[in-house]
A and B are shown apart, each in its own frame.
Chain A
Amino acid sequence: MNNDYYVGTKSKNDINPVKIIVVVAFVAVIFAYLSIKLFSLQVLNQDRYISLASNNYIRYITQECPRGTIYDRNGIVLAEDVPTFHLYAIPNEIPEISHTAKLIEDLIGIDQKTLITKIEDGFAYAEILIKDNLSYEEKTRVEENEYKLKGIFVKEGFKRYYPNNESFCHSLGYTGVITNDDLQLDEMAQYQPNERVGQVGLERYYESFLHGEMGLVKQTVDVLGNVENETVEKEIVKGNNLKLSIDIRLQKEAEQILGENKGCIILMNAKNGELLTCASNPGFDPNFFSGPRPLEEWNQLIEKRAFFNIPSMGQYPPGSTFKPLISLFGLNNEFVTPTENIVCEGALNIPGMEDKYKCWVYPSAHGPINIIKAIKISCDVFFYKLADRFEVDSFIEFLKIYGGISLKTRVDLVSEDNGFLGSPEWKMKFKGQPWYRGDSMNLGIGQGYLSVTPLQMTKLYGKIASKGIAIHPHFLAATSNDETYFSICKPEEYEVDSPKISSEHYQTVLKGMHEATLYPGTASGLNNNVVTIAAKTGTAMAESNNSTIQHLWIISIFPYENPEMVALIMFENSAYNFAGDLAPFLKNFILYYYKLESEVN
């Protein structure tokens, strides 16, 4: 068939076979190059690409662990975790950070520049907390726009809830997202950057007990962040519960008694050091830290010094509440006997000192009185004269070693101050002056180179109440692990060198303090028919901004015959004239304590 044949072309247009060979060889070289490139990628560098691929689709999600609950001594909740929602970002999954940040600013009002910095500083594959404790509206708004917010997600978590609000706020403390400084600490080395930790107070002190362990979930995700599969790598471990010695009813009563007055009320069991009340005013609502924390409110709190825990951080001269301690030193070292009368002339009759060293009744005078009466009526001249008899070094040593003055009480709070106690060495070094007689005499009435915290005084009175046994004030009653309570709190035995004082001297001092609660004692406002009390008032003078202010104290031990409790009330920079004016407040508080006690029985 003719059309099976067709006309061939002229040889003029034939292809030179060498050209074909050249092109084929060129292609062969390219193919060989592609194969070598593949070998390099898939064989030599496969590990790198395998890890890059798994970074793409494997995501580790931490799951917040609930913190342990904090209870008072009767099992009433003081702090607990409640569910909430937090907003997180995974930097690596955000397609365009500026765009996403803009949208988030529109939705929940976080400054986009801050947000961009936060995201860019984060690890590519790790979650970054953008905002904790979203409000319901914020959560809804974010979730409605979820499809526009790739790499941003809302996750269930917990927030701390303090059902009693301001009550017991200072000692309880609060929690917050771990700071960079905390992350450097050894005990927090295993924490994730977004974890909540106790920031201050008991929340901080018992952080490791309360914390629990974060869970870890390994997720397989597609490019849109859809979870295809998840496995639990680490189970969530709930934090241990704490049971405190605090009785929240007493605490609230104390706070009510404090009212608008700046100051504190402390109630401690003098037999075991358990603190039943530790109230400080002004305070704050720790729930503030689980919310949006408006700056204005924060500034107000700072302004009124709301975070200042007066019992452990306030430092004041103890004033006349120091006299029982002076008495014990005097009696124990036989500088005075229980029956010796020392004359109060209204002011000291040592030449050149008359003006400076007046009794509080001046121009009146107490006349010749013994130590019991001197405590009862808080005679200053008596104690000036007594302190004048002391040998300085052993006196100061006693205040420190027996009295715990200028030493921390080691209460289970993270913020505690030492107070202050001067000495001849200190005075020479910092003032360039020798220790004068007057300096010791000033210490005799709890003034001068001396400041104490209310907790130090509580501890000291606990020691007096228990006749020399060192009492360690503390909040913890027990921790729980699976509901089994066990005690972790052991009194510190660091006062082994403390001098022994004979029981009769304690009797003498306590008798004087008891007398003080009977007319015309300085604390006679405490007199009642429910319980016998031994107490000492103190009206301490202090300089503040070139004017003299007074801090008022009453510290009581009760029952007088068989001391069990120490109760302290202190008003800072008070408008009341005299510490005895505080006696009705303390009486009410003590009576409330007995009212609760009688309800149990």
Chain B
Amino acid sequence: MRITAYIKRPHWLYLFSLAALLIFGSIAVFSATQSLGVENSYFNQHILFIFIGVIVFAATSISSSDLIKSLSWFVYGIGVLLLLVLFVQSKMQPSDTPLRWIFIGKISIQPSEFMKIGLILSLSRVLSESESKSFVLFLHILLVTIIPVGLIILQPDLGTAISLLAISLILTFFSRVGIGYILGFIASGVGVLISFKDKLFHEYQWKRITSFLNPELDPTGESWSIRQALIAIGSGGLKGKGYMKGTQSKMGFLPDTQYSDFIFAVIGEEFGFFGCIILITLFGSLIFSSVHIATETKDSFQKFVTLGIVSLWTIQIIINIGMNLSLLPVTGLPLPFVSYGGSALLTNMLAAGIIYHVHIHKGQIHYI
């Protein structure tokens, strides 16, 4: 079995980055959820999900070489189906807050997380297998993308929708489709957004965008949380206030989602500039090692999948940190591997498993 040879030759940097991020995340989640009560079920759940995530990672990475590829459209289809279920649910029980979860008994699933993997896999298949001309290929990609993105916008979950769209565009960039199509699409997309903003956006979404652009207009609302995150990070200084000693996070000044969307602020406050740089370096080495894996494989599908996943992570990292630093609007995207959140963590561990699967299987390519 040649596969064992590759398991025995692990990609140390990739594994180390992943493990270090998970540990860093657990430490931060423990601190961020301390103020929520003595019975800290969040942390225990987080650890449980890491545990399950590691199993998912292992199972995915050692799964047979064509299993993932063959399941691509199935995963995509399940994702779209779940989004449709969510859409129907939200129509049946209208509420002010966006519906993003499907509850099956005690288990809650976030279909949009699942959809990310499905989209990357199916796009990778289209891009690696298509024989069509660029224009047809681009339309194909658009069709595959627009279905889930549209359903997610309807939830509405702007952050995820934008990140899915971005992944799609990045993968298109990597493909033989000319860059002109991409730029044209972006230009027309922005035009549509602005001219139909009333129909496309919920009021609170537009408010987020405008409050970000103009924080003075809204001192106590949305930008209050952005400001408090900034204060938390800035007041951390060089070395931080010390673990569990953050005043912003412990006294409740950070938004309620300090253990997910604003976990970076907690880290910035308690571990300071050093802590932030260590975190960014770990993300950097995860991205670098993943790209390294992508360049080592000869298989286009594997390349597209790997680069798609890395793009997904990178977009989430940049959007999340940018939001914490008041550079980007609040979008509700978690920090991969670090933030609390079962669905996101399992999805990312699955994705990490797929990349490691590529690493393990990269030599096993057979050209017809």
Contacts and interface: CB of A to CB of B under 8 A. Distances in A.
Contact of A27 (B248, B287, B301, B321): B287
B295 A42 contact: no
Nearest to B220: A95
A56 B311 CA distance: 38
Nearest to B315: A27
B366 A34 contact: no
A24 B365 CA distance: 25
Interface of B is mostly: helix
Contacts of B139: none
A42 B276 contact: yes
Interface in A19-68: 19-20, 23-24, 27-28, 30-31, 34-35, 37-39, 41-43, 45-46, 48-50, 52-54, 56-57
A54 B131 contact: no
B231 A19 contact: no
A56 B228 CA distance: 9
B216 interface: no
Contacts of A228: 251
Contacts of A56: 228, 231, 247-248, 251, 253
Contacts of B311: 23
Interface in A453-491: none
Contact of B237 (A35, A46, A221): A46
Given A13-B127, A13-B128, A3 B65 contact: yes
Interface stretch (A4-12, A272-280, A499-507): A4-12
B252 A223 contact: yes
B313 to A, nearest CB: 10
A20 B233 contact: no
Interface stretch (B108-116, B141-149, B154-162, B168-176): B168-176
Contacts of A12: 131, 176
Contact of A4 (B3, B175, B327): B3
B176 A46 contact: no
A28 B232 CA distance: 25
Interface in A559-598: none
A20 B308 CA distance: 11
Interface in B303-340: 303-304, 307, 311, 314, 318, 321-322, 325, 327
Main secondary structure of the interface of A (DSSP, over half): helix
A220 interface: yes
B300 A9 contact: yes
Contacts of B251: 56-57, 220-223, 228
Interface in B31-55: 35
Interface string B110-127: 000000000000000001
B367 interface: yes
A38 B131 contact: no
B79 interface: no
B65 A6 contact: yes
A492 B246 CA distance: 63
A561 B272 CA distance: 90
Contacts of A7: 366-368
A20 B299 contact: no
Contacts of B130: 13
Given A42-B237, A96-B220, A8 B299 contact: yes
A193 B173 CA distance: 65
Contact of A6 (B66, B129, B220, B300): B66
A14 interface: yes
A17 interface: yes
Contacts of B301: 9
Nearest to B273: A42
B234 A42 contact: yes
A9 B175 CA distance: 13
B175 to A, nearest CB: 7
A94 to B, nearest CB: 9
A1 B176 CA distance: 33
A283 B157 CA distance: 72
Nearest to A50: B235
B237 A43 contact: yes
B364 A5 contact: yes
A90 B147 CA distance: 51
Contacts of B272: 42
B234 A49 contact: yes
B318 A13 contact: no
B284 interface: yes
Contacts of B66: 3, 6
B2 interface: yes
B291 interface: yes
Given A13-B175, A19-B174, A6 B69 contact: yes
A34 B322 contact: yes
A46 B272 CA distance: 10
Nearest to A39: B273
Contact of A41 (B176, B291, B314, B325): B325
B206 to A, nearest CB: 21
A6 B366 contact: yes
A350 interface: no
A20 B248 CA distance: 40
B225 to A, nearest CB: 11
A34 to B, nearest CB: 5
Contacts of A4: 1-3, 64-65, 364
Nearest to B297: A8
Contact of B365 (A6, A15, A222): A6
B367 A53 contact: no
B135 to A, nearest CB: 16
B3 to A, nearest CB: 7
Given A20-B295, A42-B234, A5 B304 contact: no
Given A9-B128, A20-B307, A34-B280, A53 B235 contact: yes
A224 interface: yes
A34 B234 contact: no
Contacts of B368: 7-8
Contact of B314 (A1, A27, A38, A95): A27
A13 B314 contact: no
A42 B176 contact: no
B338 to A, nearest CB: 15
B236 to A, nearest CB: 6
A37 B327 contact: yes
Contacts of B294: 20
A222 to B, nearest CB: 4
A34 B279 CA distance: 12
A27 B280 CA distance: 12
A8 B238 contact: no
B300 A41 contact: no
B107 to A, nearest CB: 32
Contacts of A222: 35, 250-253
A52 B64 CA distance: 55
Contacts of B298: 8
8 smallest CB-CB distances across A and B, nearest first, come from A49-B234, A223-B252, A53-B235, A5-B366, A222-B251, A42-B273, A46-B237, A6-B66
Given A13-B130, A49-B235, 8 more contacts: A6-B69, A7-B368, A37-B325, A43-B237, A54-B247, A56-B228, A56-B251, A222-B253
26 contacts: A1-B1, A3-B66, A6-B69, A6-B366, A7-B367, A8-B300, A10-B300, A15-B175, A19-B173, A20-B295, A23-B311, A24-B291, A27-B318, A30-B318, A31-B280, A34-B322, A38-B273, A41-B325, A42-B268, A46-B234, A46-B236, A52-B234, A52-B235, A53-B234, A53-B269, A222-B35
Interface of A: 1, 3-10, 12-17, 19-20, 23-24, 27-28, 30-31, 34-35, 37-39, 41-43, 45-46, 48-50, 52-54, 56-57, 95-96, 220-224, 228
